[in-house]
């Protein structure tokens, strides 16, 4: 049986019943569910290259996307299905055929309490205009979702979140949350930020700062009185402000350091499941202006 639209929906439904977090489609072998950190074979027939090719086409259709599968080596996208939830798909090639991992997104984001974050985090992030820089690795996406959730529960404003990929779904509680996924709802982080300036947000969450132009747009929004949380992945907490300024040409680094020092509210870091926060102080501002690592004496 071909992996047509109906079979893909059946596979997603069965994964939900099995409380699986992921579905793995790989030649050769049967589709497998990941449940409780174990891969479990399903009763579905063994996969052929034609099966995973067809499944990839159907999944792209659910995401309302087109892609030249013959030339794709890796591709990531997401989609939602009514009553089933939202899923993130990663396509990749192995042994010349397409393989697929389908991840079922959590229907609700974690809270800062779930992450055992210091109580100061939400207040520093949202109580005043400015920019908060967040750093860490994959788990920082849960932290960004928890910060969004804290705004949603505590502030009656409009928050725009620009994400790639979308990991969690936020239902409006006190705030209006606009989630925009790169390549689905907006072309890039840059275009999403340019549009956000016309969407009258009270706050913006940017899941990545990929280049100098995006970083400067985030800084401008903070300078204009918006609350901005921006993520820079992979760097140490003490180095995040230097990473920010080094996105720019050398002749602009001092200018950007000065501007950042004037609007930076805090640095938040996720490392090995532990969340630390470094509020801005005169010592922090001095380190930014001197292009030095940030002192950790006030990290909570």
Higher pLDDT, 146 or 71: 146
| Cα torsion 295, 272, 208, 169: sign | negative
Half-sphere exposure of 163 toward its Cβ, with a 13 Å CA cutoff? 23
Q: Does domain 5-104 have CATH number 3.30.230.10?
A: no
Q: Smallest Cα–Cα separation from 228: which of 201, 260, 211, 204?
A: 204
Helix, strand, coil percent values for the chain (each to nearest 5)? 35, 30, 35
What is the Cα–Cα distance from 204 to 193, expressed in whole angstroms?
Answer: 9
Higher pLDDT, 76 or 255: 255
Predicted confidence band at 298 (pLDDT cuts at 50, 70, 90)? low
Superfamily per CATH, domain 120-289 = P-loop containing nucleotide triphosphate hydrolases (3.40.50.300)
Eight-state DSSP code of residue 151: H
How much is the pLDDT for 167?
80
pTM: 0.81
Average pLDDT, the chain: 92
Q: Domains of the chain: which residue ranges?
A: 5-104, 120-289
Q: Smallest Cα–Cα separation from 277: which of 289, 265, 293?
A: 265
Query: pLDDT (tens digit, 9 = 90+) per residue, 180-229?
Result: 988 878 999 999 999 998 999 999 999 999 999 999 999 999 999 999 99
Sheet containing strand 85-94, edge to edge, reads 38-41, 32-35, 22-25, 97-104, 85-94, 74-81
How much is the pLDDT for 67?
80
How much is the pLDDT for 111?
94
Query: pLDDT (tens digit, 9 = 90+) per residue, 13-34?
Result: 999 999 899 999 999 999 999 9
How much is the pLDDT for 86?
85
How much is the pLDDT for 1?
61
């Amino acid at each position: 049986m071909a992996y047509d639209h109906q079979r893909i929906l059946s596979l997603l439904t069965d994964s939900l019943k099995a409380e699986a977090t992921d579905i793995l489609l790989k030649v050769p072998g049967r589709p497998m569910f990941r449940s409780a950190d174990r891969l479990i074979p399903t009763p579905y027939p063994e996969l052929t290259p034609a099966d995973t090719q067809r499944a990839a086409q159907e999944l792209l259709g659910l995401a309302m996307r087109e892609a030249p599968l013959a030339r794709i080596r890796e591709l990531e996208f997401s989609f939602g299905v009514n009553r089933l939830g939202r899923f993130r798909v990663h396509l990749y090639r192995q042994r010349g055929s397409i393989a697929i991992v389908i991840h079922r997104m959590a229907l609700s984001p974690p809270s800062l309490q779930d992450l055992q974050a210091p109580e100061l985090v939400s207040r520093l992030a949202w109580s005043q205009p400015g920019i908060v820089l967040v750093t860490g690795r994959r788990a920082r996406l849960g932290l960004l979702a928890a910060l969004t959730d804290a705004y949603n529960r505590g502030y009656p404003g409009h928050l725009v979140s620009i994400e790639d990929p979308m990991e969690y779904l936020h239902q409006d509680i006190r705030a209006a949350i606009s989630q925009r996924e790169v390549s689905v709802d907006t072309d890039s982080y840059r275009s999403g930020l340019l549009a956000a300036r016309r969407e009258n947000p009270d706050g913006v969450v940017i899941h990545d700062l990929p280049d100098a132009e995006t970083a400067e747009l985030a800084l401008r929004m903070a300078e204009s009185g918006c609350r901005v949380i921006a993520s820079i992945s992979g760097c140490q907490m003490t180095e995040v402000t230097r990473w920010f300024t080094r996105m720019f040409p050398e002749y602009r680094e001092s200018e950007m350091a000065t501007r950042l020092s004037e609007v930076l509210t805090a640095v938040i870091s996720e490392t090995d499941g532990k969340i630390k926060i470094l509020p801005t102080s005169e010592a922090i501002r001095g380190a930014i202006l001197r292009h030095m690592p940030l002192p950790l004496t006030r990290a909570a």
